[in-house]
Amino acid sequence: MKLIKKIAAIMLSVMMVLGMASVVSAEGTTTSGTSTANTGKITIDNAIVGQTYKIYKILELESFSGKPSSGANTGNYAYKVATGWSDFIRTGEGNTYLEITDGYVKWKGATDDASVAEFAKKALAYATSKNLTATKTEGPVTNKTVEFTDLALGYYLVDSSAGALCSLNTTDTDVTIQEKNDVPSVKKEVQEDSKVNATDEWGKSNTADIGQTVNFQTTITAQPGAQNYVLHDKMDERLTLTDGSVAVKFKSGETEKNLIENTEYTLTTSGLADGCAFEITFIQSFCNTLAKDDKIIVTYSATLDDGAVPKTEYKNETWLKYGDNNETNHDTTKTKTFEMPVFKYTKDGTKEKALEGAIFTLSKDQNGTDPINLVKTSAENAAEGTYRVAKTGETGVTTVTTPSSGKFTIKGLDADTYYLTETKQPAGYNKLKEPVTVVIAEDGTITVGTNKTPVDEVKVLNNTGTILPTTGGNGTSLIYFLGAVLALVSGVVLITKQRMKNS
């Protein structure tokens, strides 16, 4: 039978490896290295190190004749179905492209590049679904050239774990094809809420309050020949995925659109054995449309829960599985929260004396308004008070009273500028005139006021007032007493002198 000669020039995901003479020649002469007149060799140049390459024989070449010296792809070809492929051609998706007559196969489909490439993808999907054993497998490869030698002549599908290859040849025993696929990659970023609309809004780390919604973005850079794309996302236990927050977009050049769940991808958020928060499986019909460097952008959010420990890095990790159980790089972001230790004291000579009973609020407003809602986590009689930022919907307090130690700590704070306002001072002490400015940097270091030297705790000094004399006090009583004594003495002296005169 004769295949349409145009197939010989089409670049797609299948390969023909054919002989120079009829198969009836039981023994052929060597024509090139390990190839003979009735065996072939496939060479893949520019192979991707680490990938695995497979070939599947779809059709067997029973006989061939007629290649002229000019090298034109003409002649007579007789093909029969290879083992395992009959259902695909007779009743499956391959029936659109091939037909069997009297046991021989011929091409009947369209011969444009897109149609033949689609045939190759359907053939690969069939091989995968039926668990067909590859004719030969090489990999994971360690260099840029891969060879399949001593191949029986026939019609071969060539597959790589990076994507289907694209080549077709109908005449040569030795065929070389170029690997034009590349591996996909992922990039993960997290949004820093204090930098919204800034050029560095998205990066590899951020800081957050307890209960804050943290926004994430993963960008997949796709490649042609995409197979079995599944995005995995794993969060540390203190990050909780926000229900309904996952959205998927596709971008190619200037074109951007939202992808439709259950049409172009499926989303799984529970029952995942690998501990992932969610997985996105991209439907193969969508993957078939992907071109080089197309972008798939996945956005979602999570909440930092109340068990987050200050200065601990909470990671969100993502990776893409593709092809035959391959994985991209694992990309990770880190989220941290901080704390603010405070010590209220006065000076007793050179010693620092703790002050009990001072009342404070903490705010991000420089006037001390709109205080942060807090939840007390320490016992009422604890030597040091411990509070954390309240989550949305929690009942909390907006004031903190210093215990006998004069110390308290507020946990779960974002990197930001805060204002600690004394609303009531301890009895007998002067009230602070203005809020104390406290800056928590992105690395968690704390500075107070205009002093840029980092401190371990925020020290707040209160001074006692001066004791002033008052009317009716001991000072005037003493004066009155001394005046009375002087008056009495003067009287005695006058009386004594008068008696002396009279005598």
CA distances to 83, 153, 208, 320, 324 from 104, rounded to whole Å, are 14, 16, 68, 42, 32
Burial of 488: CB neighbours in 10 Å, binned 0-12, 13-18, 19+: exposed
pLDDT confidence of residue 474: 57
- Find all residues with CB under 8 Å of 189, minimum gap 6, and list them: 202, 203, 204, 216, 217, 218, 219, 333
DSSP 3-state of 253: coil
**DSSP character at residue 237:** T
DSSP 195: G
CB atoms within 10 A of CB 245: 15
Q: What is the DSSP letter of 261?
A: B
Q: Is the peptide bond before 140 cis (omega within 30 degrees of 0)?
A: yes
Identify the H or E element spanning 317. Answer: strand 314-322
The pLDDT of residue 1 = 42
SS3 state at 334 = strand
Q: Using an 8 Å Cβ cutoff, are 229 and 184 in contact?
A: yes
Helices (H) and strands (E) in the chain, counts: 4, 39
Q: How far apart are CA 69 and CA 374, in angstroms?
A: 88
Residue 220's Cβ-count burial label (10 Å; 0-12, 13-18, 19+) is: buried
HEC string for 408-462: EEEEEECCEEEEEEEEECCCCECCCCCCEEEEECCCCCEEECCEEEEECCEEEEC
pLDDT tens per residue across all 503 residues of the chain: 444 333 333 333 344 433 222 222 222 233 334 445 578 888 888 888 888 888 999 988 887 775 544 444 556 778 899 999 999 999 999 999 999 999 899 888 888 877 887 888 888 889 988 999 999 999 889 998 999 888 888 888 888 877 656 444 444 567 777 776 778 999 999 999 988 888 889 999 999 999 999 999 999 999 887 888 999 999 999 999 999 999 999 999 999 999 999 999 999 999 998 899 999 999 999 998 999 899 999 999 999 999 999 999 999 999 999 987 788 989 999 999 999 999 999 998 889 999 999 999 999 998 888 999 999 998 877 889 999 999 988 989 999 999 999 999 999 999 999 999 999 999 989 999 999 999 999 999 999 999 999 999 999 999 886 555 555 555 555 666 667 777 777 777 677 766 666 66
Helix (H, G, I), strand (E, B) or coil at 75: coil
Q: What is the pLDDT of residue 37?
A: 57
Distance, in Å, from the CA atom of 7 to the CA atom of 390, rounded to the nearest integer, reads 68
Are the C-beta atoms of residues 173 and 150 closer than 8 Å to each other? no
Query: Residue 107 belongs to what H/E stretch?
Result: strand 104-107
Nearest to 464 by CA among 497, 500, 414, 429: 429
Q: How far apart are CA 67 and CA 447, in angstroms?
A: 84
Q: Cβ atoms within 10 A of the Cβ of 313, count?
A: 12
Distance CA 180, CA 1 (A): 32
Structural domains in the chain?
5-178 (no CATH), 185-336 (2.60.40.740), 338-461 (2.60.40.10)
| Residue 404 phi, psi (nearest 5) | -60, -25
Q: List Cβ neighbours of 176 (8 Å cut-off, separation of 6 or more).
A: 42, 43, 44, 45
The partner residues of 353 in beta bridges, in order of sequence, read 346
480 close to 472: Cβ distance less than 8 angstroms: no
DSSP, res 473: S
- The SS3 of residue 500 is helix
CA distance readout (Å), 203 to 193, 301, 332: 11, 15, 10
Is 330 in contact with 234 (CB distance < 8 Å)? no
